[in-house]
Amino acid sequence: MSEADEDDLARAALETVREASAAMCLIAADEILERLLAKGFAERLQTTPEADPCLRLAAVLSGLPGIASFESLSGRTVYHDPALLSRTYARILDHKDAPELLLAAEIRSNSRDYTRPLPVELFEKTPFDLAPETIEAALKALSCGQEFQDITSLTTAAGAVYLFSTRYLKRGYAVFLAEQDASLTMNP
């Protein structure tokens, strides 16, 4: 493959990842490959018959600046452009089909990184967009899972429910923070 063909392929792959990121989607190598083949890049991805074109494409993608990748819950490597789709949002998208893991990851992250409990209704809003029944079922599943014993809840004096991880927040401090947050919400 000529250097010009290599550059065209890299540009097309970059454009494909950016299109997916702009649409708030993660994209895997096989999906990028499909789109590139539809755009006529089949001959540029030609390899030996026994070689996997997805591996060739993955090598091209790994050399592109500004493209991030990670192993998704499904085990596939997914790609995104952090300038269009942040790493945090990409992880949220990846966990959408596993609400228990999504809630646990977000609760732990907020307890650890931001030292705050989360109001349960946060998960009903964008970017999570979970139905109250889904949240309730996920929290019930978390309470039964040994690996999620650190995830707990509290109810403020005003009746607001907050979630936090006891790995990173002591209950008394979480109660204090939740009461502060709830009072600010009620008195904008």
Each residue of 10-23: pLDDT tens digit?
Answer: 999 999 999 999 99
Quickly state the pLDDT bin for 1 (edges 50, 70, 90).
low
Neighbours of 81 (CB within 10 A): 20
**The domain made up of 3-92 is a member of CATH 2.60.40:** no
More confident position, 143 or 186: 143
* Per-domain boundaries in the chain: 3-92, 98-186
Share of the chain above pLDDT 70, in %: 92
Helices then strands, counting H and E runs in the chain, come out as 7, 6
pLDDT tens digits along 128-182: 999 999 999 999 999 999 999 999 999 999 999 999 999 999 999 999 999 999 8
Phi/psi region, residue 155 (left: phi>0; alpha: psi -120 to 50; beta: rest), is beta
- Mean per-residue pLDDT, 31-57: 78
CA–chain centroid gap for 72, Å, is 9
> Would the pLDDT of 185 be above 80?
no
Looking at the domain covering 98-186, what would its CATH class be? mainly alpha
pTM of the full structure: 0.79
For residue 167, CA distances in Å to 113, 150, 151, 172 come to 12, 6, 8, 13
Asked if pLDDT for residue 67 goes beyond 80, the answer is yes
